Structure 1
Amino acid sequence: MSGKKVAKPVTWSTADGREMGEVEAARLAEDFESDESALDGAEVTFPRKAGRPSLTGAKGTSPQVTFRLSATVRERAERLAADRGTTVSALAREALEQFVKKAG
């Protein structure tokens, strides 16, 4: 096995819940490009990218913390995260988790 991920087919849903495959969605896109009035009255909902799994282990969103910091700290954090192959968010989460653990 090559280890490559195989993309799942994308489906779109109309406002009334009917699913559309790639062929029908492509046809609608072509209709729209050639005549914007072709979609008058049509409601199309585009698929949302699935987010990351919840950190709580349950379904739903994980609690979030937002804070401000200086540009200098942000730049240093970006460099540090890049050096470690991670994100600033993951770096901040790890730092806060360690701080809370040590504080008891």
Structure 2
Amino acid sequence: MAPTATPPNAWALRSVTQPDNVVELRPSGSLDATTAGFLHTHLDALMRSGYDEIIVNCRDLRHIDADGVAPIQHIAEIFGELGGKLTLLGLDLPIDGLGEGVLPLAA
């Protein structure tokens, strides 16, 4: 599903700049096909902004599925090739559509 011009009401995203050229992104609500495009856009912009590390803090997510993981995986692979680091924190939810314990992020 293609993203609409504005994110759904039940979804929010905020970023917090940390010391040492690190930024933390905090999505809340659901991360799925409806919101994945918004997350990808924000991750891409942060990656291009020159940060050394992007932290995606998932503690406020209520739901995540395989479509929601896709932008994180995509940016993690590109960012890693450019020498950056993408860290995923607080993911205590099962990911619908993925096997248990499987998170396809680049090492």
Q: Normalising to structure 1: TM-score of the pair? A: 0.23
Computing the radius of gyration over CA atoms, which structure comes out larger, 1 or 2?
A: 1
Q: Which has the higher strand share?
A: 2
Q: Normalising to structure 2: TM-score of the pair? A: 0.22
- The one of the two structures with greater contact order (alpha-carbon pairs below 8 A, sep at least 6) is 2
